[in-house]
């Protein structure tokens, strides 16, 4: 890698880890009792690191919420509004509550992370062999969580991150949509108390619908065109 790329990754990752450390290991961000804001602060580091690094090193990186889709409405509806309605409705039927704010907060949290992991870091490492790129991203992602105990559950978590890096990475390279990858990223985070049969079924339904939509859209509209330009959409 060129020195500029290495430097940009170091700056990005240092900021990402710093904000993660401040959020989960100190009381600095405990200035609010708002549960949703506290969740977002734990995941804001990768986004800040990416934007700072892009600015400092003048990286011509293109980020987009809609990506290769023709408008913002499609990925917003499929990857954000639909899962909120589906999971919220099931929760309401079973528990009598519709956690719309929590569900959207989880999606925004995923977006903040994915700006860094996929939008920035994957793009910076795309010239490397695929296995090498996936391994680097997964290990950095794992270390970013600041949980260094080599327990069986943590090793399983590392495996999940490797699989997630591969899978979410393919979604990003297919769509270049930060909304889409944030949706995939959030699948596990939607369910904070572990996975039971209901949660696994909901995840399976969402995956089938999302992957089916991506395949259908690509075949129908032949979306093999360049990454969308940086937008505020």
DSSP letters for 146-192: T-----HHHHHHHHHHHHHHHHHHHHHHHH--HHHHHHHHHHHHT-T
pLDDT value for 222:
57
Task: Identify the three-state secondary structure at position 216.
Answer: helix
176 vs 147: which has the higher pLDDT: 176
When pLDDT is averaged across residues 143-148 and rounded to a whole number, the result is 94
Tell me the per-residue pLDDT of 29-70, one tens digit each, with 9 for 90 and over: 988 899 999 999 999 999 999 999 999 999 998 899 999 999
* Other Cβ atoms within 10 Å of 108 Cβ, number: 17
Contacting residues for 122 by C-beta, under 8 A, at least 6 apart: 133, 137, 169, 172, 173
If one compares 67 and 196, the residue with the highest pLDDT of the two is 67
What pLDDT score was predicted for residue 224? 47
Query: Mind listing the pLDDT tens digit for each residue in 108-144?
Result: 999 999 999 999 999 999 999 999 999 999 999 999 9
Predicted pLDDT of residue 55 = 96
- Please give the pLDDT value at position 193: 67
Q: Say yes or no to pLDDT of 1 above 70.
A: no
Q: How confident is the model at residue 220 (pLDDT cuts 50, 70, 90)?
A: confident
Sequence-distant (≥ 6) Cβ neighbours of residue 205 within 8 angstroms: 86
Is 26 within 8 Å of 41 (Cβ atoms)?
no
The answer to whether 67 and 175 have CB atoms below 8 angstroms apart is yes
Which of 129, 146, 131, 185 has the alpha carbon at shortest distance from 42?
Answer: 146
Name the more confident of 223 and 205.
Answer: 205
Q: How many CA atoms does the CB half-sphere of 117 hold within 13 Å?
A: 35
């Amino acid at each position: 890698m060129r020195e500029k790329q290495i430097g940009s990754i170091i700056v990005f990752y240092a900021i990402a880890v710093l904000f993660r450390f401040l959020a989960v290991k100190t009381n600095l961000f405990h200035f609010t009792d708002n549960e949703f804001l506290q969740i977002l602060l734990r995941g804001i580091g990768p986004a800040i690191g990416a934007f700072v690094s892009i600015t400092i090193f003048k990286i011509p990186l293109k980020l987009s919420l809609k990506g290769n889709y023709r408008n913002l409405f499609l990925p917003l509806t499929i990857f954000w509004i639909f899962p909120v309605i589906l999971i919220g409705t099931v929760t309401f039927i079973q528990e009598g509550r519709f956690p719309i704010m929590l569900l959207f907060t989880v999606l925004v949290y995923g977006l903040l992370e994915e700006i860094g992991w996929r939008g920035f870091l994957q793009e910076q490492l795309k010239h490397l062999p695929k296995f090498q790129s996936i391994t680097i991203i997964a290990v950095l992602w794992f270390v970013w969580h600041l949980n260094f105990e080599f327990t069986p559950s943590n090793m399983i978590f590392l495996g999940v991150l490797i699989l997630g890096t591969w899978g979410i990475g393919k979604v990003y390279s297919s769509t270049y949509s930060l909304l889409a990858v944030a949706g995939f990223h959030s699948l596990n985070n939607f369910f904070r108390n572990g996975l039971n049969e209901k949660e696994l079924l909901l995840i399976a339904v969402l995956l089938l619908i999302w992957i089916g939509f991506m395949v259908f859209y690509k075949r129908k509209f032949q979306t093999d065109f360049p990454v969308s330009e940086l937008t505020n959409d």
